[in-house]
Amino acid sequence: MYCPQCGQQQVSEVTRYCSRCGFLLEGVSAVLASGGQIPMRSVAPSSRQQSPRSKGIRQGAMLMLSTLLLVPLAAIITVNLRIFPELIIPFTAIFCFVGGLLRILYAAIMEEPYPAAEVNHIAGYARAGMPQVDTSARNIGLPPASVNHVPGWRPRPNTAELYQPPSVTENTTRLLDKEEPKSR
């Protein structure tokens, strides 16, 4: 592959920058790989993940809301079975409500606010539809930049050789050669 800016041939197809001019070649290789179309990044909206912080806040909220379901359920079961209702009911209420509140606080303070990025989805490119460039010319690259003169080129003619301008002092020396008429 050749650099489109300076024409330098690249050592590898995996090269990210031109070794001569520093041009970013990552997009150029993606365009060549897709047959001349500008590739589009594909991120499926359904595969969007939640951040650990938002997951923790949701878990804490669900645990706090479960207090409304678990405390009456624990009360019904412990009263009917007569298994320490004065101990289990408050323990269930405190555990669910305070545990949910602590989970929300931990998620808000300690967990990452951004989801973990999957390299496959972000770095991947969408498959090209129809190529915009003729596929037969796919392997043809730009020639390297020419630094030598092209052979057979004749040098520019020196137009000063055709006519030599007279010297600046020539006119004044002619005036000295003339003899002035003598007055008698």
Domain ranges of the chain: 1-46+119-145, 50-110
The C-alpha atoms of residue 44 and residue 27 are separated, in whole angstroms, by: 21
Backbone angles phi, psi at 2, to 5 degrees: -110, 145
The C-alpha atoms of residue 177 and residue 125 are separated, in whole angstroms, by: 89
Binned average pLDDT, 10 residues per bin, the chain of 184 residues: 79 76 78 73 63 94 94 92 89 94 94 74 48 52 66 69 68 70 66
> Which residues on neighbouring strands pair with residue 41, listed in sequence order?
125
DSSP single-letter state for residue 138? T
Task: Kindly calculate the radius of gyration of the chain based on its CA atoms and give it in whole angstroms.
Answer: 43
pLDDT at 85: 86
- Evaluate whether 29 touches 20 at the Cβ level (below 8 Å): no
pLDDT at 42: 58
Residue with the two structure tokens 């006519």: 163
Q: Give this prediction's pTM.
A: 0.41
* Other C-beta atoms lying within 10 Å of the C-beta of residue 60: 20
Q: Which amino acid is located at 39 in the chain?
A: P
DSSP string, 24-41: B-HHHHHHHHTTTSPP-B
pLDDT at 165: 65
How far apart, in Å, are the Cα atoms of 49 and each of 59, 110, 167? 15, 18, 87
Two structure tokens written together for 104: 């929300």
Burial category of 20 from C-beta neighbours within 10 Å (exposed 0-12, middle 13-18, buried 19 and up): middle
